[in-house]
Chain A
Amino acid sequence: MGVAVGEARDGRQTPAPSAARRSAADPVKGLLHRHRELCERAVDPLEIAAGLEAHGVTDRTAARFRHRDVFSLAEEMYARAPRDRDTHAPASPEEPPAPRPGGPRTAGIVLALLPGVLCAAAVAGLRLTDGRPRLIAAAVGILAVTLALGAALRRGPLSAATRTTSTWTCWLVGYALLGDGLLRTAVGGGPDGLPNGTTDGPWPVSLAPVLALALSFVPAAGCAHLFAAGARRKLTSSRGLADFSASVRPLLLGTFALYTGALAGLLALTGAVLGEPAALAQGLSLGALLLLARLLTVHGHAHAPTLVLAAAATAEAVALATLFAGRLPGCGFLAAPVEALVTACGPAGVPTVACGIGALTLLVHACRRLTRASAHASTGRTR
């Protein structure tokens, strides 16, 4: 055994003179040059030690550089490495865009278009048919739009990581479809029949705002994408958290304004095409509410949107309920506030007030929550 150890030592010492010849005065210098990149980017000596070991440097190699072990060799290299203060600027390259769940871009656009197109088809079906086929068209249309909406929300920039309930959203959209007509006829003592899908029946249906909302899914997805991408860009460019918040707030408000503008245009367009009055106020407030709720949910704040959506839906339901409760003997006072509101602003006043207050609340909330950096942290899962 002793013999073998002796041989091993003999074998090791063969290259020592050559190494000494190459850089006799400063043996570490050559090593430093060879591992220049490692030394420049190391944050502490242990990182250099780990890197050196990965390149096959052992304690016995370190002995050739007149060091006790790799750690002390690494410490010398760390101390001697030229560390340029400005290297960090190019060292932080542009963050690659966070991989969004979803396939190619076109698929996302098609999916986003789907609810609007299907809704338009359903509206056309309602307009062009009559009787039983109209009922079938309505049912098929509602089903198709709901499915398309679910599919579109599952991917793309409006997809949320957490599970959300859609009950309140459905109620709010349903009210936009049927609520105004019901309210108007209820004030006048009706309704005298079920909705038949027309604007002049016993229970008039307002298709224009719903169609506009469905069509506005594309601008909503675009705005959400703009906001997320802009926030990511701001993340890399801002120096601190306060800086980031200050720069994201205008982005959020701008995105919101962009969507509102697009929705207003769509509302006017659908109103003109369908020959209905453009329900600008209630459509805008509902769209704003839904967009803000979705944005908050997407960025991980699902609690407040749920509350506000529930509150708005409840307010609308209560308004209808009081109107009907007022017909009971001795309860006329219950209907007074809603009737006053309807006489003042028309039947659109109720959803406008309910959704408008909700949207304002969420806007204030979003200005506080969505401007935080933690709302834009990527939540990646390891597969």
Chain B
Amino acid sequence: MSVAAAKVSVVSPTVSDSPAAVHARLRGVTRVFRLPKGELHALGPVDLDLGRGEFFSVVGPSGCGKSTLLDILAGLSRPQAGTAEFEGRSIQDVPDGVGVVFQEDASFPWLSVRDNVAFGLRRAGVDPAEIERRVDYAIGFMGLKDFASSYPVQLSGGMRQRVCIARTLVMQPRLILLDEPFGALDQQTRLLMGDELLRLWRETGATVLLITHALDEAAMLSDRVGVMSTRPGTFIDFVETGWERNRDSRVVSTPHFGDITARLWEKLRVEALKIMSSGKA
């Protein structure tokens, strides 16, 4: 596996000057939750530019607002301050062209794998022949062919997560948001699912934002990794990995992978220690 950049390049935590094509943009995004005991400043202010077709990962200590950031991009949550844009338009509700895969198993147990995958397309009133075509493709792509008529309860956690990814994939999203999608899976399955994800990313040309707590996952999969601080979460570092587009999980054996992971941990360790010393971990 060749490595494009021999050294990890580190970009300052400020936003890089407008990339060629910005697909999604956050400016001064802040989220505060009102709780019975007072306010909880969960996130921000955060600035972020996602380049079109970029694979971007977010790592950060637990409770730093990573999922909140994803919710804002998905239109599931509104920021109190700042702006969130997707394809030049302000994000109000869930925007067309955005697909989300959650950490929890979101497959519908009352539907077969095939019906699960076709679910969104059917509700959207897509032509049945087109549904067939896209569902067949997605089921084949995610290696679910032998399980098309099975029910989620008959599948392992990894297979169910594939069903959820396939259900998102058939909608042909241009921005795919993944909230720790492999968090509940074992290490080997996670590496293999990472390969699947890279393949999906290359084939669809979609922009990907991956939330993860696994440094190795972020280092192996991403073009760029954003490191977040403890709450209220802000980006304290952006690390460009410099991998070539045609990469897979075998990059973990390269020294460069170690460099990236070390760089991420160096930044994250300080934040994780803050949490530990505050007794929240």
Chain A complexes with chain B = no
B residues near A (Cβ < 8 Å) are none
